[in-house]
């Protein structure tokens, strides 16, 4: 059933709104996936807070205009689904990579992060980007390291002094005995 002009405009507006606020996007070819597998992918996407949509390429090109993902327009060829990371930059790539390992028919074609178009071979690198919580914990560990080192250094001085005094005391006791 063909879409009406109003339905097409609504789809373009919805995808554009998501793309405007997304951190990264992945376009993957889904030819060969069954309906059950697509439903499973959509369920996993909802759990990961990834927006997944199958859109006609002409509508997707219009939706990506004036967004960071405009660089993907030329590569939108064939049956593709778009996955947008709305929570952290690597969530869509992690979803597509993990699902692609289980289902060989899902093949990444385009990856875009921050307005840069990357090849499908970069999917693993984008998928390995830390989540927001992981990035914060890494930053906190880096910030905590100098303070811990300073505390250990300051603690080493009195410890060394006490050891020296104990050694002197033991020498005097040996000498007097």
Beta carbons of 135 and 95 less than 8 angstroms apart: no
Task: For 22-78, write each residue's pLDDT tens digit.
Answer: 888 999 999 888 999 999 999 999 998 899 999 898 999 999 998 888 888 888 888
Tell me the CB-side half-sphere exposure of residue 64, using CA atoms within 13 A.
26
Q: What percent of the chain has pLDDT over 70?
A: 99
By the 8 A CB rule, do 69 and 23 touch? no
For the chain, the first-to-last Cα distance in angstroms comes to 106
Question: In which band, very low, low, confident or very high, does the pLDDT at 1 lie, cut at 50, 70 and 90?
Answer: low
pLDDT, residue 42, reads 92
Beta bridge partners of 74: none
pTM for the full model?
0.71
Beta-carbon contacts of residue 20 (< 8 Å; ≥ 6 apart): 66, 67
**CA–CA gap between residue 146 and residue 54 (Å, rounded):** 49
Instruction: Tell me if 32 sits within 8 A of 41, measured CB to CB.
Output: no
Topology given in CATH for the domain delimited by 5-129: Alpha-Beta Plaits (3.30.70)
3-state class of 117 per DSSP?
A: strand
Q: What is the pLDDT of residue 14?
A: 92
How confident is the model over 122-133, as pLDDT tens digits?
A: 777 777 777 777
In this structure, are residues 77 and 89 in contact, taking their beta carbons and an 8 Å threshold? no
- Most confident range (mean pLDDT) of 96-110, 134-148, 154-168 is 96-110
Would you state the pLDDT for residue 147?
81
Percent of the residues in the chain that have a pLDDT greater than 90, as a whole number:
19
Domain boundaries, the chain: 5-129, 130-177
Q: Which residue has the higher pLDDT, 14 or 148?
A: 14
């Amino acid at each position: 059933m063909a879409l009406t002009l109003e339905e097409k405009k609504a789809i373009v507006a919805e995808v554009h709104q998501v793309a405007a606020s997304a951190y990264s996007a992945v376009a993957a070819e889904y030819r060969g996936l069954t309906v059950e597998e697509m439903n499973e992918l959509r369920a996993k996407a909802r759990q990961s807070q990834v927006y997944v949509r199958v859109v006609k390429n002409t509508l997707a090109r219009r939706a990506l205009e004036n967004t960071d993902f405009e660089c993907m327009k030329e590569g939108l060829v064939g049956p593709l689904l778009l996955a947008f990371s709305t929570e952290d930059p690597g969530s869509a790539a992690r979803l597509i990579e993990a699902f692609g390992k289980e289902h060989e028919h899902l093949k990444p074609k385009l990856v875009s992060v921050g307005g840069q178009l990357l090849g499908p071979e970069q999917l693993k690198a984008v998928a390995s980007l830390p989540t927001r919580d992981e990035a914060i914990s890494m930053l906190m560990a880096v910030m905590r390291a100098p303070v811990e080192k300073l505390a250990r250094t300051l603690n080493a001085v009195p410890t060394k002094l006490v050891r020296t005094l104990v050694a002197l005391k033991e020498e005097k006791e040996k000498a007097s005995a």
